Amino acid sequence: MKHIKTLNNTVLQNTVKHGGCGECQTSCQSACKTSCTVGNQSCENENK
Amino acid sequence: MIHQYKIDDLNVVIDVNSGGIHLFDECSYDYVALQNEGKVHEEIVGLLNKQYGDVDFSEVQSEIKQLTDQGMLFTEDNYEHILDGLSDRETVVKALCLHIAHDCNLKCKYCFAEEGEYHGERSMMSLEVGKKAIDFLVANSKNRKNLEIDFFGGEPLMNFEVVKEIVYYAKSIEAKYNKNFRFTITTNGVLLDNDKINFINEYMYNVVLSCDGRREVHDYMRPTANQKGSYDMIMPKFKDIVSKREGSYYIRGTFTHHNLDFAKDVISMADEGFDLISVEPVVAPLSADYAIKPEDINLLLKEYEVLAKEMVKRNITGKGFSFFHFMIDLNGGPCVAKRLTGCGAGTEYLAVAPFGDLYPCHQFVGMEEFKMGTVELGVENTELRSEFKGCNVLAKEECSNCWAKFYCSGGCMANAYNYNGSIQSVYKMGCELEKKRVECAIYLKAKEI
């Protein structure tokens, strides 16, 4: 594309199919403890 | 829904419902803004022709259409149906925050744990309670393999023998129940010595080292009992543990009304050699002199941008570091289910007070109305659990039209309760800061690509 550059290749809708396994970290666990941050976590689903 | 913003030399467009993130040039950025207002191609061209005389806007129109057809732009929100399944989901506990010591050897002015006491008396968790907590977690984690145990306080090193015994106990039953325990410990560093460093580095998946950044900032908010600074006491120990460590760590600080220029604190820690850094806004009642005030927000937003731009510069010169709140995984981030349900407090994540009482998270510990049960008897207040389970980003009216809803997932329920008296509400100052953090995180990623 000449005018637009897309930074990512996955879309959230696709995660509906394989999501919800719950193997990812709970959000407050690693460092924050005072402010919920979900979007910066990684998916740990081994079967996606 | 789309969200557009400019930062540095970038024009970023986020497609909220697909998570698609795009960099637009100037003319397409202005074009999509007008399209988002409902204007049609001919109107848009009429409005932009003078400014961008030589641009062929049919190309822009075509590229936007292509992304729309691919489900990466102007995507509809059709996630409501997922909640039907989520509200019926079985409750699985996968993480516990063990309040191993309700006592502390520092007197930090902003401590939400009230210098370790959490609305109660000084107390230490016994090994017996710790083992029951592990048993409770195993029994309630169904088939989840990865389980997290966080040793928190107060100051956990004040009860370190019990920490060690709990770790040994958990490791001893891992294989039998097909579990993988990940331990994290948070410490102010005062009691760190070689033995503790060796144990932590061998067994702890993560260690959180509390430091506020610049010496004068740290010493002002984190004094010892006799009102002396603690920076010089802890900094050599933090450098020591990190230098000997292979696993993850965070050096983690808190910023307050007294250091709104907190980027300098982050940079100070980077300059001291730390490369995994987290600095977060203080949780405090507005009446506190150090609380973040509404009039501070604009300054803080600018400060996040100052930090992000400095990080870009350092990445180029090979002196880059990670800032927890600017971390974002654009391709492998959380699934929609996770993004809708949020942090997991009160359901997947519980805090255990020293005598074994269960609370929705560490910030609710000691608040009698939030007591959920005990490690011995399990979660008895199922009504409260249901309230937390039902608290998701789509249930919050303020979140429904927010572009950042799939990044923050409704925000911190404890913050919402502390400021508004309801976990179903939002902490608006926190929202403004979170939105800026997401924008900066995307900016940093864009600059890496």
Between A14 and B228, where is the model more confident? B228
Q: Amino acid identity of B383?
A: E
Task: Tell me which range, A7-11, B11-15, B360-364, B419-423, is most confidently predicted by mean pLDDT.
Answer: B11-15
Q: In what order do the strands lie in the sheet with A4-6?
A: A4-6, B20-24, B10-15, B2-7
Chain A residues whose beta carbon lies within 8 Å of the beta carbon of residue B407: 37-40
Determine contact, residues B408/A38, Cβ cutoff 8 Å. yes
Chain A residues whose beta carbon lies within 8 Å of the beta carbon of residue B409: 27, 36, 38-39
Q: Are strands B357-359 and B373-374 parallel, antiparallel or unpaired?
A: antiparallel
Q: List phi, psi (to 5°) of B128.
A: -60, -45
Taking the CB of residue B314, how many other CB atoms lie within 10 A of it?
Answer: 14
Contact B409 A2 (CB under 8 A): no
Q: List phi, psi (to 5°) of B9.
A: -100, 15
- CA B436, CA B404: separation in Å to the nearest integer? 10
pLDDT value, residue B392? 84
Provide the ipTM. Answer: 0.89
pLDDT in tens, B48-81: 999 998 899 999 999 999 999 999 999 988 777 7
Q: B250 — contact with chain A (CB < 8 Å)?
A: yes
Q: List phi, psi (to 5°) of B252.
A: -125, 130
Strand positions, DSSP E, B165-232: 180-187, 204-210
- CA B153, CA B315: separation in Å to the nearest integer? 35
Q: B336 — contact with chain A (CB < 8 Å)?
A: yes
Identify the residue among A33, A41, A48 best suited for mutation to test binding to B, counting B beta carbons within 10 A and taking the highest: A33
Does B34 have pLDDT greater than 90?
A: yes
pLDDT value, residue B261? 98
Q: B283 — contact with chain A (CB < 8 Å)?
A: yes
Residue of B nearest to A18 (CA): B335
- Buried/exposed B128-137: b ≥16 CB within 10 Å, e otherwise: ebbbbbbbbb
pLDDT value, residue A36? 59
Chain mean pLDDT for chain B: 93
Helix (H) or strand (E) holding B11: strand B10-15
- CA B156, CA B248: separation in Å to the nearest integer? 18
Torsion angle (degrees, nearest 10) of CA B231, B236, B238, B242: 150
In angstroms, the separation between the Cα of residue A22 and the nearest Cα of chain B is: 7
Segment A18-47 mean pLDDT: 71
Segment A14-38 mean pLDDT: 70
Q: B275 — contact with chain A (CB < 8 Å)?
A: no
Lowest mean pLDDT among B81-85, B331-335, B362-366, B399-403: B81-85
Does B162 have pLDDT greater than 90?
A: yes
Give Cβ neighbours of residue B416 (< 8 Å, ≥ 6 apart).
B422, B423, B424, B425, B426, B427
Taking the CB of residue B161, how many other CB atoms lie within 10 A of it?
Answer: 8
Chain A residues whose beta carbon lies within 8 Å of the beta carbon of residue B184: 29-30
DSSP structural state of residue A25:
P
Q: Which two tokens stand for residue B277?
A: 């850094």
Q: B1 — contact with chain A (CB < 8 Å)?
A: no
Segment B165-170 mean pLDDT: 98
- CA B309, CA B129: separation in Å to the nearest integer? 47
Least CB-CB distance to A20: which of B63, B71, B335? B335
pLDDT in tens, B257-270: 999 999 999 999 99
pLDDT in tens, B375-418: 999 999 999 999 999 888 888 888 989 999 999 888 889 989 98
Determine contact, residues B434/B404, Cβ cutoff 8 Å. yes
Q: A4 — contact with chain B (CB < 8 Å)?
A: yes
Of B212, B215, B119, B125, nearest in space to B161 by CA: B125
Give Cβ neighbours of residue B40 (< 8 Å, ≥ 6 apart).
none
The domains of chain B are located at: 2-78
- Sign of the dihedral through C-alpha B26, B27, B30, B35: negative
The answer for B 149-208 residues in CB contact with A (under 8 A) is: 150, 152, 184, 186, 206, 208
CA angle B404, B409, B414 (to 5 degrees): 120
pLDDT value, residue A34? 63
pLDDT in tens, B114-125: 666 667 788 999
pLDDT value, residue A22? 78
Of all residues in chain B, what percent carry a pLDDT higher than 70?
Answer: 97
Does B357 have pLDDT greater than 80?
A: yes
pLDDT value, residue B317? 95
Taking the CB of residue B413, how many other CB atoms lie within 10 A of it?
Answer: 26
- CA B141, CA B94: separation in Å to the nearest integer? 6
Q: A47 — contact with chain B (CB < 8 Å)?
A: no
Q: Amino acid identity of B306?
A: V
Q: List phi, psi (to 5°) of B378.
A: 85, -170
pLDDT bracket for residue B331 (50, 70, 90): confident
Identify the residue among B55, B335, B447 best suited for mutation to test binding to A, counting A beta carbons within 10 A and taking the highest: B335
pLDDT in tens, B255-313: 999 999 999 999 999 999 999 999 999 988 889 999 999 999 999 999 999 999 999 99
Chain A residues whose beta carbon lies within 8 Å of the beta carbon of residue B86: 20
Q: Which two tokens stand for residue B122?
A: 């000084």
Segment B337-346 mean pLDDT: 85
pLDDT value, residue B438? 95
- CA B270, CA B252: separation in Å to the nearest integer? 12
Helix (H) or strand (E) holding B434: helix B428-448
Of B198, B288, B210, B303, nearest in space to B245 by CA: B198
Lowest mean pLDDT among A12-21, B100-109, B398-407: A12-21
Q: Which stretches of B39-157 are DSSP H helices?
A: 41-48, 57-69, 80-87, 127-140
Chain A residues whose beta carbon lies within 8 Å of the beta carbon of residue B437: 37
- CA B101, CA B129: separation in Å to the nearest integer? 12
Q: Are strands A4-6 and B20-24 parallel, antiparallel or unpaired?
A: antiparallel
Q: Which two tokens stand for residue B49?
A: 């022709």
pLDDT bracket for residue A30 (50, 70, 90): low
Does B87 have pLDDT greater than 80?
A: no
Contact A12 B415 (CB under 8 A): no
Task: Tell me which range, B117-131, B210-224, B331-345, is most confidently predicted by mean pLDDT.
Answer: B210-224
- CA B258, CA A23: separation in Å to the nearest integer? 39
- CA B345, CA B337: separation in Å to the nearest integer? 15
- CA B81, CA B247: separation in Å to the nearest integer? 39
Q: A17 — contact with chain B (CB < 8 Å)?
A: no
Contact A35 B206 (CB under 8 A): no
- CA B161, CA B341: separation in Å to the nearest integer? 36
pLDDT in tens, B192-205: 999 999 999 999 99
